[in-house]
Amino acid sequence: MKRRDEPIAVLTCYDVLFARLLEAEGVDMLLVGDSLAQVVLGYDSTLPVTMDEMLHHGRAVVRGAPHTFVVLDLPFLSYQVSIERALESAGRAMKEGGVQAVKLEGGDPDTCETVRRLVAAGIPVMGHLGLTPQSVHALGGYRVQGREAEAADRLRRQAAALEDAGCFSLVLELVPGELAREVSDELEIPTIGIGAGPHCDGQVLVLPDALGLNPGFEPRFLKRFAELGEGARAGVRMYVEEVRNRRFPGPEHTFGEEG
Ligand code: KIV
C-alpha cells in the first residue's frame, strides 16, 4: 500500500463485536493495543496489563475478524527482560492468540536485537517510536516527543535501525508532523501515525476514543468520528425508564401459549 501511495487505515480493537464491525468496514489492520489496560480494564497507564489479558482479548479479535491482519502489543516486561522472554511472549501471541504480528516499543540497540531475533524466528514485528507509553514515567508524561534537534535525530536513527532489524512497519506516536514526514520518506516500511500528522503512510486511533466512548479525553490529535457514548447513555436511560414504568417488555416481546 505504501508503494501504491494508498493510506493505511488502522484501528485498535479489543473484542469480537467491534472486530466483526471493523472487518466488515474494511479496516486494513487491527491492533490489539496495550491501551486495553486503560480503555477497557480501567488502569491509569498501560503498565499493569499482562500477557494473559492481552491474549484473552487478542483471541476474541481474531475470532471476530478472521480475514483481517491483526497485530498484538507485547505488554510491559514481556520482551524487555531477555530475548528468550521476548521469543516466548511473541510465540504465545502467534500460537495462543492466533495473531499475524506483534508490536513492541523502543528503538535502542537491545530492542533492535530483539526485533532481529523475533523476525529470524518468523514473527513479523511492528515497531513503535515517539511517545512510547510503556516508558511514560521515564519520559515524564504523555507529551510530544522529538521536538528538540537531538531527540529528533535519535528518533530518525532508531527508525532506520528498526527497519534494518526487520520491522515490517513502524508506529509513530505524538511526534511533530514534519519529523514524521521525514521519517516516512526515509523508510521503505510504512509508518502508522497517531498524533503524528498527515504525512505518515497510515493512521491509527484508539477505537473508544475515535467513537466517542471515552468522554473527557480530548487531545489535539484526536478526532471523534461518532458519538457512541451519547447514544449508549440515551439507550440505557430509556431502558431503565421503560422497565420501571412497565412499558418493556411489551406483548411483542412476550411468548404466547401457541409457540
Ligand atoms: O496500545 C495502543 O493502543 C497503541 C496505539 C496507540 C498505537 O499502541
Indicate which residue's Cα is closest to atom 4 of ligand 1.
33
Indicate which residue's Cα is closest to atom 2 of ligand 1.
33
pLDDT of residue 93: 98
- The sign of the torsion formed by the CA atoms of 98, 100, 106, 112 equals positive
For residue 95, the tally of other CB atoms under 10 A from its CB is 10
What does the pLDDT profile of the chain (259 residues) look like in tens digits? 999 999 999 999 999 999 999 999 999 999 999 999 999 999 999 999 999 999 999 999 999 999 999 999 999 999 999 999 999 999 999 999 999 999 999 999 999 999 999 999 999 999 999 999 999 999 999 999 999 999 999 999 999 999 999 999 999 999 999 999 999 999 999 999 999 999 999 999 999 999 999 999 999 999 999 999 999 999 999 999 999 999 999 999 999 986 5
Instruction: Residue count of the chain, please give it.
Output: 259
Contact 50, 44 (CB under 8 A): no
For residue 223, the tally of other CB atoms under 10 A from its CB is 9
Comparing C-alpha atoms, which of 69, 37, 76 is closest to residue 53? 37
Indicate which residue's Cα is closest to atom 6 of ligand 1.
206
Q: DSSP for 29-98?
A: EEEE-TTHHHHTT--SSSTT--HHHHHHHHHHHHHH-TTSEEEEEPPTTSSSS-HHHHHHHHHHHHHTT-
Alpha-carbon distance of 87 to 121, in angstroms, equals: 8
Give CB contacts under 8 A, 24+ apart, made by 92-96. Answer: 92/51, 92/55, 93/54, 93/55, 93/58, 93/123, 94/123, 96/55, 96/59
pLDDT of residue 259: 57
Examine the residue annotation and report whether 173 is marked as an active-site residue of this protein.
yes
Alpha-carbon distance of 61 to 81, in angstroms, equals: 27
Question: Would you say the CB of residue 171 lies under 6 angstroms from ligand 1?
Answer: yes
13 Cα: distance to centroid of ligand 1 (angstroms): 10
Contact 93, 74 (CB under 8 A): yes
Whole-angstrom Cα Rg for the chain: 20
Indicate which residue's Cα is closest to atom 3 of ligand 1.
33
Instruction: Point out the catalytic residue in the list 23, 105, 163, 173.
Output: 173
34 Cα: distance to centroid of ligand 1 (angstroms): 6
Comparing C-alpha atoms, which of 76, 78, 81 is closest to residue 91? 78
Contact 206, 223 (CB under 8 A): no
Question: Would you say the CB of residue 35 lies under 6 angstroms from ligand 1?
Answer: yes
Superfamily of domain 8-227: Phosphoenolpyruvate-binding domains (3.20.20.60)
Domain boundaries, the chain: 8-227
Question: Would you say the CB of residue 204 lies under 6 angstroms from ligand 1?
Answer: yes
Contact 113, 164 (CB under 8 A): no
Indicate which residue's Cα is closest to atom 5 of ligand 1.
33
Question: Would you say the CB of residue 100 lies under 6 angstroms from ligand 1?
Answer: no
pTM higher than 0.95: yes
Burial class (CB in 10 A: 0-12, 13-18, 19+), 164: exposed
- Tell me if residue 120 falls in helix, strand or coil: helix
Q: Given the CA of residue 10, which atom of ligand 1 is nearest to it? A: 7
Question: Would you say the CB of residue 73 lies under 6 angstroms from ligand 1?
Answer: yes
Question: Would you say the CB of residue 194 lies under 6 angstroms from ligand 1?
Answer: yes
Alpha-carbon distance of 194 to 172, in angstroms, equals: 6
